Structures are given as structure tokens and as C-alpha cells.
Structure 1
């Protein structure tokens, strides 16, 4: 992209970081709204396994976790203050300036409201796509019938958060998150056992992965065939 548009790489990368940040904000908003609606049911489910809640709380309050974050922050600030002209610090500073320039351009670029609108449309399509997958199979469709749109949002949030775990395209964490989400609503639906939920999660992620591969190949071919002159 930087080569085709003759723009600095760090600036282009900064705009991509801004795009990821917009996705992060979107996930955060959807997550807060979902937990506000489904919080009691989720806590009731977690309450069946006190050890699970204890494990989550111990992780969030771990002195090792927060100590590591504080230590990394102190080291970074110390290096920046004591070696401002070193090659490594200068390189990082230039990278940061480029990233910030790419991010800040969103506030002044033409079409920023269209960008915001398409971000909303994109995440709406993500949710709609998962909803179509749910409605394609009788037992997952029954989840929506009995528990409404909130059940779909809960599964969507869990699978979205699972993408934070380093993995190849979400393989593994995505399925686990989907199984966990469906497990919250499986009690009143005969047949919605772990085997069914696992099969559904594998199939849904496989379709997404294949779609990404096909669209990626199409994009590369389109770029190769695009001979339009660039100003």
C-alpha cells in the first residue's frame, strides 16, 4: 500500500493501527452492552464453578502481572530519558511519530464520517454473519428463539475476545469461546451437547477461514491487474 500510494510506510501503518483501534473500541462497546444485558445469567453460570471465578480474580489481582507492567513501563521511560539520542530510541521515536501521524489523519481527512459509518456497518455484518450461522442449524437457531438476540451477542463477544489470544486465525481459542458461549444456554435445549457445539464451532470458523482465503486471493489478483496510474 505504501509503495502504490507513495506514502511513508509508518504513516500507512499508523492508519492501519487506527483501524485496529476502531475495532478495539467497537468490541469494547459491544462487550459492555452485552454484559449489561446478560451479566446476571453469566454470573449465575460462573457461580456454578467458584474455582473459575477465583482463577479470574487471582489473575486480575496478580502482583506478578501488574509488577511486570510497571517494570516494563519504568524501563522504557528510563531508556527514553537517559539515552534519547541512541539509535534504538531514535528509531522507536520515528516509528511512533509515523504511527501517530497515520492515526491523527483520521480527524482531518475527508470522508472521516464515511469511515466511521463503514466501521459500524462492518461490525454489523460480523454480527449478522454469525447470526446467519446460528439460524442455519436447528439447535443453535433454538438458542436464539428461546433466549433472543442477547445469546447471539454473548457468543459474538466471547469469540471476538478470543482473537486476542495469539493463534493461527483464531483456531482453538475461537472454538473454545463459542463452546463456552453456547454452554450458557444449552440447559433447556436437548441435544445441544459439547459434541454438537464443537461441530458447530469448527464449521463456522472453517467457513470464515475459507472465505478469507478466497477474498484474499481475489484481492491479490485484483491488485496485480489494476494498472491505473497513481497521482
Structure 2
């Protein structure tokens, strides 16, 4: 089950975190993986790990904010069976502490970047008889999170775009779903704690972990496993859905 043999998968943000975990797992299951990341070195590192394990991968260093770059890169791939939009950035702040530049920066990556990626991939999927799109939303698109105004805005947009695309392209055999993770232990989390809580990293890590009823953060590999299922043929009856993967955060924090 869950084999991706002879499928080509494009994963944005594939150089680190959840995106990297998805790339590694997809390659293990037989997919030819296109590792898309703005950081060329990070993308190459993911590709090297895949190749060393006998998998197939190629690094594509582009900025998802730039539609021309994305369209050109995807057209060169020609056949895209699976698209995972994992590239994203975060921002800390309420509406009043989020200035226009911060708002635009989050929007450009988290919203426009997802739009650009789907804009470039869908015509290829239609041409080839269908495909699967998986977007990374967040628990912030379903519940209120303190000090995450711009981030919540962007992930709410991802959820809405997912539903719209699922509706518009179901007759083209294109499935589109999203998942909503809670906190995931990625290098971003470690960097955030080191920057904002120097000397108190362990204390704050434990505090953040305990905000999830299950008592810990998710591992990137756990998120990748759900993504694998939703992008596999075994999930062929699933489209237009959002799947929380949150350690009980949404339903059990009361």
C-alpha cells in the first residue's frame, strides 16, 4: 500500500522541516521527487540524501513568490502527478503589531506562493488526466491562536483555496486536500526559541509542547505519513477535506 512508483511529485519547501520529510518518504515509496526550495543548498542536501538511499530526486531552486519562475520550472517538468505545497513562513504579532510590510511578506509566501504553485501545476495535471494536490494549512485556520494574526490570515486562505480548487477541478480528476498541523518540531522551532528565548530554550520548548493535549510536538515524519496517505491511490475517494493533525489541540483544549 501507499506506493508512488512511476509518479512525479513536486514538493515546495522541500529543503527542510515537513517538506524535507515528505520528499524523503515519497522517494522511499518510489516517486521521482522534485525538491523545490528558495534555498538551493538546502534543496541539494535533500536530493543528496535521497540519491544516497537509491531514490530519484532533482533540486529546483526557485522562489514560489515569483509566478514566472514557478511556471517555467513546472513546465520543464512536464508531468506532475502530485503537488505538495509545504513552503511557508511564520510571523508573531497581533493586528496592531503587524505592519504592512510584515503582512505582505506573509501573504506573498503563504498565500500567493500556494496560488502560484497550483496555477502552474493544474494545467499539466489536466493535460495528463489528473493529479493530487496537498496544501499545508494549520490549526490557525480553524481556531484562534494568540499573536498569529498574519499567519492565521494566510492559513485561512490556504484552506479556502483548497476547497475552491477541489470543487472546480474534481471533474478533471484532480483531488485537492489540506492538512492542519499543530506545532511540529522542525529546525524553525529551534531557531525561533534560540532567537526569542536565549538561555530558556528547553523551558519554552516544554511549555509549547504542553499546549497540545498529547503532551508533545509532532515529528515531521508523522506529518509526512498523513500526506503520503492523502496523496496515494488508496485515498482516491478523498477530496475537498482538511485533516487536523494536532495532538488533540482543536477538540481537546477545553
Instruction: Identify the TM-score tier after normalising by the shorter chain.
Output: under 0.3
TM-score (norm 2): 0.24
Structure ranking higher on relative contact order (CA contacts 8 Å, 6+ apart): 1
Structure with more of its chain in helix, by fraction? 1
**Who wins on radius of gyration, i.e. which is larger?**
1
TM-score (norm 1): 0.26
